């Protein structure tokens, strides 16, 4: 169908079955004809504006009256300062708004005005003038006749993109192998994540879960300064956090190469979800399932950390355990695979 046909079709339908009755005659409001009503509306509006001023002053009073901080004045169990500042500010603003709208509704002219619309497009004449001006400008620049200038300029502008990208290179280091390693090393103690105390397998009860971290997070150098601190600590925590769980040894079904990764039924898994990296911590004692609170991926810790539900695709990485001379749980090595969410180069 051509545009003409469509235009004709639309023309056919332009005919309206019912004639436009036109705008209604303006009906005066009580305030338009009754002086008393008008004065009443005026008083109402002024009252709202006046109340707003009162609220503004009360805001200042509340600001200086109520304490905040350690022991705030309480009102209905909440900080009185916040409540009264919010109330007075809110009402001060609301009253201005209500007053203004009442003013518009009752006292400002409510005669409807009809304004003609014009097509959004410019007139053909304007278009022609603009187009010829544009063509004239392009012709005067000779950009069409001198392609060498045009092409070299385009090349130069394109090349400017390189500095723009290269200059951002130092936003961060290249990933390298950083994601493949954690601070876990052979012989590093698995310690409680709050107290930093080392843990023995026999101290744990069947079904117990302990949030743990590598011992180095609590180590101090000869001057008493922590070995790992600040940003580095946060970054390492984001990868090295683990959980210890103790299950009945007969419940555990390890892969053949993982048979000696546990100590007396105690297994150690990465705490970082393989989905998008939330720390996992919801433990179902009876089923040995571990649930991620962010997106509910569920892992079976008795069965090598396999995914049994949810959006995660990979099993939780397991940290091989052994005991040191004093009988405390330590790592046999770093994690055998990268922890946390998947990424392209992970393989």
Sites for another protein among residues 216-245 (CB under 8 A): 229-231, 234-235, 237-239, 241
Which one among 9, 43, 186, 248 touches another protein, defined by CB under 8 A? 9
In the complex, what is the shortest distance from the CB of residue 288 to another protein, in angstroms, rounded to a whole number? 16
Binding mask 249-288 for another protein (x = CB under 8 A): ----------------------x---xxxxxxxx------
In the complex, what is the shortest distance from the CB of residue 239 to another protein, in angstroms, rounded to a whole number? 8
With contact defined as beta carbons under 8 Å apart, do 329 and 189 qualify? yes
Q: Is 159 in the site for another protein (CB under 8 A)?
A: no
- Listing DSSP states for 57-75 in one string gives HHHHHHHHHS--SSSPPEE
In the complex, what is the shortest distance from the CB of residue 291 to another protein, in angstroms, rounded to a whole number? 8
CB closer to another protein out of 44 and 211? 211
Q: Is 106 in the site for another protein (CB under 8 A)?
A: no
* 341 Cβ contact partners less than 8 Å away, ≥ 6 residues apart: 273, 274, 275, 276, 277
Within 14-53, the residues that bind another protein by CB under 8 A are 15-24
- Listing DSSP states for 14-66 in one string gives TS-SS----PPPPPPPHHHH-HHHHHHHHHHHHHHHHHHHHHHHHHHHHHHHS
| Tokens read off for 19 | 């004639």
Which one among 35, 222, 250, 345 touches another protein, defined by CB under 8 A? 345
Q: Is 152 in the site for another protein (CB under 8 A)?
A: no
Alpha-carbon distance of 202 to 305, in angstroms, equals: 22
Which one among 56, 89, 201, 227 touches another protein, defined by CB under 8 A? 89
Cα separations (Å) of 236 from 34, 92, 163, 217, 246? 78, 51, 33, 9, 25
Q: Is 96 in the site for another protein (CB under 8 A)?
A: yes
Q: Is 304 in the site for another protein (CB under 8 A)?
A: no
CB closer to another protein out of 86 and 249? 86
Alpha-carbon distance of 48 to 69, in angstroms, equals: 34
Point out which span in 113-121, 143-151, 197-205, 254-262 binds another protein (CB under 8 A). Answer: 113-121
Which one among 227, 294, 322, 323 touches another protein, defined by CB under 8 A? 294
* 97 Cβ contact partners less than 8 Å away, ≥ 6 residues apart: none
* 282 Cβ contact partners less than 8 Å away, ≥ 6 residues apart: 290, 291, 292, 293
Point out which span in 2-10, 29-37, 150-158, 244-252 binds another protein (CB under 8 A). Answer: 2-10
In the complex, what is the shortest distance from the CB of residue 61 to another protein, in angstroms, rounded to a whole number? 12
Q: Is 323 in the site for another protein (CB under 8 A)?
A: no
């Amino acid at each position: 169908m051509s545009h003409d046909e469509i235009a004709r079709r639309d023309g056919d339908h332009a005919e309206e079955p019912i004639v436009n009755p036109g705008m209604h005659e303006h009906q005066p409001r009580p305030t338009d004809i009754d002086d008393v009503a008008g004065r009443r509306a005026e008083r109402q509006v002024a009252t709202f504006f006046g109340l707003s001023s009162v609220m503004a002053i009360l805001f200042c009073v509340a600001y200086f009256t109520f304490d905040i901080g350690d022991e705030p004045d309480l009102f209905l169990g909440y900080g009185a300062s916040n409540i009264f500042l919010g109330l007075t500010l809110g009402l001060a603003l609301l009253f201005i708004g209500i007053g203004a709208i009442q003013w518009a509704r009752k006292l400002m002219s409510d005669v409807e005005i009809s304004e003609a619309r014009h097509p959004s497009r410019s007139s053909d004449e304007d278009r022609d003038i603009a187009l010829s001006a544009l063509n004239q400008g392009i012709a005067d620049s000779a950009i069409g006749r001198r392609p060498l200038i045009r092409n070299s300029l385009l090349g130069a502008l394109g090349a400017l993109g390189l500095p723009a990208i290269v200059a951002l290179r130092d936003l961060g280091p290249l990933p390298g192998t950083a994601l493949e390693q954690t601070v876990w090393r052979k012989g590093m103690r698995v310690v409680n994540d709050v107290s930093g105390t080392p843990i023995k397998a026999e101290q744990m009860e069947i079904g117990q879960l302990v949030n743990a971290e590598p011992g180095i997070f609590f180590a101090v150098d000869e001057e008493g300064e922590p070995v790992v601190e600040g940003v580095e600590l946060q970054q390492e925590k984001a990868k090295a956090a683990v959980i210890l769980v103790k299950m009945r040894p007969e419940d555990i079904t390890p892969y053949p190469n993982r048979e000696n990764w546990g100590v007396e039924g105690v297994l150690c898994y990465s705490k970082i979800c393989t989905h998008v990296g939330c720390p996992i911590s919801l433990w179902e004692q009876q089923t040995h399932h571990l649930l991620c609170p962010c997106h509910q991926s569920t892992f079976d810790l008795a069965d090598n950390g396999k995914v049994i539900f949810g959006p995660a695709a990979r099993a939780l990485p397991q940290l091989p355990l052994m005991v040191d001379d004093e009988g405390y749980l330590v790592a046999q090595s770093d994690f055998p695979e990268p922890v946390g969410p998947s990424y392209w180069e992970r393989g």
